[in-house]
Homo-oligomer: A and B are copies of this chain.
């Protein structure tokens, strides 16, 4: 470290220079960039901290990375970092927190309303120049279940209140159970889902949550219920969901995340009835906000104070 100014490496396959410029414009001089593992390897010696999207974690155990003390992920999910237990324990891992709630909740309600108000039916009638009124259903009075009550889940709950919905929540810690009308824990999935009109997944991916929504859960849901996954693809068993949607067991499934991204062109989800596929865009980080989050953490790091968004490796998020 050069006095109190840490040496920074920004790693991103396409936007490394953009983030580096953001930092330099704010007076941070000691910034290098890398967009490939080879470039990263070359620039690691002397690097104190890394700001990265999908960093090649195997490099962190090498002697070139001896000075690294902190890696800031550009995103809320950090399972790429969690999946590598070889990352030395003295390297702190932080993720972006409290920035995605509003955007993801907007995405969720955009689709809840699209489905609940039957906008595709309205658009089809218009394309046929057909005036055919029908009784439109309401969100008010319906039951939404939010699995995961972190900053994203909490924001969904807040908007659900404005729509006068009944709100159920499932979380492992139970810390925010007072936000919801009924709270369930990780052992109560069946009881949680059976009365829901909308099930929204915002959980982190851990060994406890992988494939939490499988055939058993899908079969327990009401046929008029819809599923929205804005968490991580593997929260849901893809084969079980494909089977359920093919059999018409749910009203709709809205999927922004998948086992493998990008979703392969021949994947069944693209063409299944009542399945809405979007390309992992519900909670994009806003460039400026991410830059500012890192700047704030950098100040804490230089001062030797606790960082924001620190990841608990035992918990997995």
Residues of A within 8 A of B (CB): 102-103, 106-107, 109-111, 113-114, 116-117, 119, 122-123, 125-126, 129, 131-136, 138-140, 158-159, 161-164, 261-263, 265-266, 270-271, 276-282, 284
Contact = CB atoms under 8 A, between A and B. Distances in A.
Contact of A161 (B102, B116, B162): B162
B102 A107 contact: no
B162 A122 contact: no
Contacts of A279: 125, 131-133
A106 B138 contact: yes
Contacts of A131: 261-263, 265, 279
A270 B129 contact: yes
A110 B107 contact: no
Contacts of A117: 106-107, 110
B138 A278 contact: no
Contacts of A280: 133
A158 B102 CA distance: 16
Given A114-B114, A123-B276, 18 more contacts: A102-B140, A103-B136, A109-B113, A110-B114, A110-B116, A110-B119, A126-B278, A129-B271, A131-B265, A132-B279, A133-B279, A133-B280, A134-B281, A135-B281, A136-B282, A159-B162, A161-B162, A162-B162
8 contacts: A106-B163, A107-B136, A109-B109, A123-B276, A129-B266, A129-B270, A131-B265, A134-B281
Contacts of A106: 113, 116-117, 138-140, 163
